[in-house]
Amino acid sequence: MIITVNGDRQTWEEQKLSIAELLTLNKVEKPDMVSVQLNGKFVDKQDYGITMLAAADEVDFLYFMGGGKA
Amino acid sequence: MMKGFSSKAVHGDGAVKKDVHGALRTPLYENVTFEFENTRALQFAFEGRSLGHSYTRISNPTVEDFEQRIRLLTEARGVVALSSGMAAITEIILVLAEAGTNIISTKYLFGNTYSLFEHTLKPWGLEVKYVDMTKTAELKAAINEKTRAVYLESIANPQLQVPDIALISKIAAASHIPVVMDGTVTTPYLFRSRDFGVAVEVLSSTKYISGGGTTVGGLIIDNGLQDWGRCPRLQKAAQKYGPHALLAHLRREAHRNLGSCMSPHTAFQQTLGLETLALRIDRSCENALALARFLQARPEIKAVNYPGLESSPYHALAQAQFGGKFGGILTFTLTDKEQCYKLADSLALIRRATNINDNKTLILHPASTIFCEYAEEERQTLGVPSNMLRLAVGIEDVEDIIEDIKQGLETL
């Protein structure tokens, strides 16, 4: 599945992928410190695990705090 | 997982990043800027698409460490550290309100906060409505469609009025209005504002947290309770950042633009202070109660105001809200201003200085200092009579504090 994350095309072998799994694959260690937009729409944090991605989706991770990598 | 306040304060409990060299204390990053591997990475950091410090006015590792420790202790959504408590109050009001809108507050406030509202923000078109926060009917009547925040202090300084914060939060929440509470006097150790419905807590970390009056700082704590999409000035940010709207707006606009950042040096000092916060508060609360009881029994004193005294009209509420501790500030009245000056000038151990929650016990005549810009008549409405002294009780041995006051009273 090819997904665009923060403007970069990412190819994943997984056929099913939730936002929570995508965050893990992208090594976002503190998902509570990131807002996620799926195709331009904000996704509620409590829905990260149940929101499934589809091929060609565009996902943006938006960090609301300053800070180096966890 | 550690549960105790001090354990969390000392260790950080996972909220704090490990140092690359294994330093047990987060080092002081006393630098301005940060280098990126390529321009795109720098672009992403600016756009908020990656985690990265770019410029210390916006964020800094040492400051972040301090913010994350406060976040851990408060279980808040997020924390922004600032150059002072007044900067925190200014920033949050500027973000929530604007010209043509109003905030609701009380005249029982820290003098500089009242001055900020009356003299600094009113000329920009902000209306400030003052109500008696102990009369909920007044608060309900003051709320209208232009109200953007309810602002109060957990224990008013120096009036020592204690509002029913859960009740006030409930009233404000019915109209989707955030309660902004100054928790300087109580800190998150004595009062978990999140549990009482407070949307945003602001603090002067200069006081209890700094530990010994080392540095000036402030905090904005988003407790994560408010739907920022219901707050007109944050609707745009809420569309993009959802529940993180306030923090994102602060970090990516208001806080960045106002330049009221906490310095890394201050964050380093205040992280150290935070580790001993509970010990120092416990001691100063014990000392304040003992001192209040001593003063109450002295014939020279007209009245003692301390929520820890059974005679205080706020005693029962304070007991319930603050878990049996009542803060380190008390006030008392003498015959007149001259008697106040005479007593203050006769003290040897207690210092004549304006600060609260220093390690040292400090005495102040509020009417002639913090409230000096107001006429006597207005000071009366602000609850600051000219025959009142304020004691900000420190952590010395209480017998020594009492002995000093005793010898001072004997000079009257």
State the smallest CA–CA distance between residue A26 and chain B in angstroms: 11
Cross-chain Cβ contact A44/B242 below 8 Å: yes
Summary mean pLDDT of chain B: 95
What are B139-152's pLDDT values in tens digits? 999 999 999 999 99
Helix segments in B125-276, DSSP class H: 136-142, 165-174, 187-190, 235-241, 245-249, 255-258, 264-275
Compute the mean pLDDT over every residue in chain A, rounded to the nearest whole number: 85
Q: How many angstroms separate the CA atoms of B285 and B191, rounded?
A: 13
User: Distance of alpha carbon B114 from its chain centroid, rounded?
Assistant: 14
Q: What is the pLDDT of residues B195-235, one digit of tens each?
A: 999 999 999 999 999 999 999 999 999 999 999 999 999 99
Chain B partners of A42 at a C-beta cutoff of 8 Å? 239-242
- Strand-pair category, B218-222 with B362-364: unpaired
Determine the Cα angle at B381 with ends B378 and B384, to 5°.
85
- The domains located in chain A, with CATH, are 2-63 (3.10.20.30)
Q: Please report, rounded to a whole number, the percentage of residues in chain B having pLDDT higher than 90.
A: 89
Given an 8 Å threshold on Cβ–Cβ distance, is B241 in contact with A42? yes
Other CB atoms within 10 A of residue B134 CB: 18
Cα angle value B244/B248/B254 (rounded, 5°): 140
Q: Name the residue among B399, B401, B397 with its Cα closest to residue B363.
A: B401
What CATH number was assigned to the domain covering residues B277-409? 3.90.1150.10
How many angstroms away from the CA of A43 is the closest CA of chain B?
8
Chain A residues within 8 Å of chain B (Cβ atoms) = 6-7, 33, 35, 37, 42, 44-45, 60-70
| Orientation angle between helical segments B277-296 and B398-409, nearest 10 degrees | 30
pLDDT in tens, B58-93: 999 999 999 999 999 999 999 999 999 999 999 999
Q: Which pair of structure tokens corresponds to residue B47?
A: 């756009």
The distance of B241 to chain A (nearest Cα, Å) reads 6
Which chain A residues are Cβ-neighbours of B241 within 8 angstroms? 35, 42, 62, 64
Whether residue A70 is predicted with pLDDT greater than 50 in this model: the reply is no
The pLDDT value recorded for residue A66 is 58
Minimal Cβ distance to B247: which of A44, A64, A69: A64
Chain A residues in contact with B50 by the CB 8 A cut-off are 6, 61, 63
Instruction: Inform me whether the pLDDT recorded for A69 exceeds 50.
Output: no
Q: How far apart are CA B232 and CA B211, in angstroms?
A: 38
Confidence at residue B1, expressed as pLDDT on a 0 to 100 scale: 63
How far are the Cα atoms of B163, B168, B211, B270, B392 from residue B133, in angstroms, in the given order?
6, 8, 30, 32, 24
On whether the B5-274 domain is CATH 3.40.640.10, my answer is: yes
Q: Encode B150-161: b = buried (16+ Cβ within 10 Å), e = exposed.
A: bbbbbbbbbbbb
Residue of A nearest to B238 (CA): A42
Comparing alpha-carbon positions, the chain A residue that sits nearest to B66 is A67
Rounded mean pLDDT, B352-374: 95
Q: Is ipTM > 0.85 here?
A: no
pLDDT (0 to 100) of residue A65: 67
Say yes or no to pLDDT of A11 above 70. Answer: yes
Show me where the domains of chain B are located.
5-274, 277-409
The reported pLDDT for the residue numbered B126 is: 98
Q: What is the pLDDT of residue B47?
A: 82
Average pLDDT estimate for B323-337: 97
For the cut 90, the answer to whether the pLDDT of residue B46 exceeds it is no
Sign of CA dihedral B148, B153, B158, B161: positive
At A34, is the pLDDT very low, low, confident or very high (cuts 50, 70, 90)?
A: confident
**B218 or A29, which is more confident?**
B218
Q: Is B375 on the interface with A (CB under 8 A)?
A: no
Q: Can you give the pLDDT at residue B119?
A: 95
Measure CB to CB from residue B61 to each of A33, A61, A68 and give the nearest one: A68
